[in-house]
Structure 1
Amino acid sequence: MHSNSIGHKQLISQCLSVLPTEFFSSPLLNYEYDKLSVDALMKIFVAAQLDKWESYEDMEERLRANPEFCESIHLPSISGSQLSRRINDLPTEFAQELFQKVVHIIHDLTKDYKGINSEIGRLKIIDSTHLKLPPELCDWAFVTKAWNVVKMHTRIVVVSEDISYPDKIVPSTGNVGDVETPDLLVEEDDATYLMDRGYPSVKNLMSWQEQDISFVVRITKNIRAVPIETYETNHPAILRDVKVKYSYADEPIRLVEFEDEEHRLYRLMTTRWDLSAEQIMDLYRYRWMIETFFKWIKQHLKLVKIWSTKPQGMWNQMFLALAAYGLALILQLQTKSKKKLWPFLRLMRTYMYKPYNVFMEALHREKSKTSRGRQKVPLPKKKETEFEGNIAIIKPQKKK
């Protein structure tokens, strides 16, 4: 990564060269397309998310203004209308495969991370978020009056207190309930799954137990549990820690109930018998990480700015936006930066069309020391505000 040729490459080109897109440049996949290969198309849309390109006109202008970038993806010229048509026609399986290849790179870079701590291990958090679409153009996404949405059912992996990443998503129309998706998102592995009330049903709980899945899930009042054995707990917020039987399940399960600071009741079912009730309570609170992730991608990658009103275009945008997120995280991990991901991405955007080595210098530049340590702070003197010029109308204030 530090050779002279790479160092003088534009940061955006260096970033996109990390994308494992060799397969998508195959002539067999691109025999229909004279100008824009599948490889180049996906790189353009990943770049658009990374650099926050605002519209198809903006994309067209930026490509025209950056011939070096276009040359790096073998793109002679392209119009915004061509990009719009092609993102709607791109098979979503291609966008999904690119995202999965990015996830594989992140997995390799984080394989030595132990999770939250040695006792809890890695977490996988599942939840969904919705993207609102214009009703007049997206009747296929109708849910209720003036509520046309698609959903992104998401699983994130928490490999440390500071690092998490999405490793699987399931796009859907907005009328697909969360409870219908766990078969696609909960898989046998060594992680503990965290889920909110939308996901557990009696059928799902029994299935997870049969598969020996580790989980902590919040349940609704509809799932009734009969106590078998009660465990002692001294934490003031924890109301009950019991072994229970539910519905017609054969296997008993653990139920932990607690109240938060606002006296809201939480009923958690879990297969983690090895942790204390207090640890279960604290573990569940890590669910905020997926809420933060959704807020992050909507705010910083502008996922709410939709590129298409067609189903396939929307699914492609989800996968390519998350590939962009993964790409920023890969660069952060590879450079061993201590910056949080948002300041890191912000710096990337500042130096996106500068040489890669200029970005690296900025990334590792030490802050100048301007402070002289703790100084005695004098009491501030009240200053009279001075008005200059004769443009504004000034009315004297009454003295207090």
Structure 2
Amino acid sequence: MFSKYSIAPTIYLMDRNYPSLKKMIDIPLAGNSYVIRCKSVFCPEVVDFVNPNEEDAILTLKITNKRIHNTFFKTLSKVPDEVQTRVVRILFPTREYEYLLTNTDFTIEELAYLYQLRWRVEGYYCVLKEKMQLENFSSKTVEGVKQDFFVKILTSNIASLLIADAQSQLDQEQKVSNKYAYQINQNVALGIIKNEIITLLMNQSLNMEPDS
């Protein structure tokens, strides 16, 4: 019933605002896997799992008329009678228990590691939305919005490369000259790159022919 990551093309890692019966149907139908954090009161079946303090169980979620009414099943040609999913309890560093739904057979330790991988993605969303102001468009036309979007993504990618390179050089210098570990100020660096991106891209010295 459950699939190892070695045969699953994609593993969807989702926070606790995303669990739904439809996702637990759609994702496996496409041959993929999911790891979804859910609230302890997500559904009655999860509540029943939480109360006895179990760590790992297979749940059978009946697709009742009420659930069909409250969930978007419009894209399914046939709604199944039930959905089976696995639920595990994870102890986070905060000493709080969280609950993950999945259709994989990873160990609890592997699932905890997988779920933590999404934090870098969340961090990048923060960069795009807050620092790059991705949703602050200068145009109201379709093409203008697309241009704004792709320019900011390109600028963010270039900034990430430059900041990583600068941090690597700084780390090397600090090994021999300083006992303190300094970090590149990403906010300042990003602001400079945003303002100088046109000059940077137009710099002819960056367009050198590769060595033959």
Quote the residue 1:71 is aligned against.
Answer: none
Determine whether 1:194 maps to 2:13. yes
Determine the C-alpha separation between the residues in 1 that align with 2:166 and 2:58.
43
CA deviation after TM superposition for structure 1 residue 290, in Å: 2.0
| Separation in structure 2 between the aligned mates of residue 240 and residue 210 of structure 1, nearest angstrom | 27
Partners in 2 of 1:355 and 1:272 — Cα distance? Answer: 51
Tell whether the 8 Å contact from 2:24 to 2:83 is kept in structure 1 after alignment: no
Deviations 1:261-310 (A, max 9, x none): 4344422111221x2101101211222112210222245534354313x3
Q: Where do 5+ consecutive residues of structure 1 fail to align?
A: 1-118, 122-188, 230-237, 360-400
Name the TM-score, length of structure 2 as normaliser.
0.55
Q: Larger C-alpha radius of gyration, 1 or 2? A: 1
Aligned-residue RMSD, C-alpha: 4.3
Tell me, yes or no, if structure 1 residue 207 matches structure 2 residue 7.
no
Matched, 1:356 2:205: yes
Compute the TM-score of the two structures, normalised by the length of structure 1. Answer: 0.32
Rounded Cα–Cα distance in structure 2 between residues aligned with 1:243 and 1:311:
49
Aligned length: 159
Residue identity (%): 19
Once the two structures are superposed, residues 160-191 of structure 1 have per-residue CA deviations (whole angstroms, 9 ceiling, x without a partner) of xxxxxxxxxxxxxxxxxxxxxxxxxxxxx712
**Residues 332-390 of structure 1: per-residue CA shift (max 9 Å, x gap):** 49xx958579669967948715442599xxxxxxxxxxxxxxxxxxxxxxxxxxxxxxx
SS in structure 2 at match of 1:307: coil
Q: Distance in 2 between matches of 1:318 and 1:358?
A: 24
Quick check: which one's helix share is greater? 2
Counterpart-to-counterpart distance in 2, 1:252 and 1:305:
42
AA paired with 1:210?
L
- Aligned twin of 1:279: 110
Looking at structure 1, the residues matched to 97 and 61 of structure 2 have their Cα atoms a distance apart, in angstroms, of 19
Which ranges in structure 2 are unaligned for 5 or more consecutive residues?
64-80, 169-183
Q: How do residues 1-400 of structure 1 correspond to structure 2 at under 5 angstroms?
A: 190-220=9-39, 221-225=41-45, 240-248=55-63, 250=82, 252-273=84-105, 275-303=106-134, 305-308=136-139, 310=140, 312=142, 313-314=144-145, 316-326=147-157, 328=158, 332=161, 349=196, 352=200, 354-357=203-206
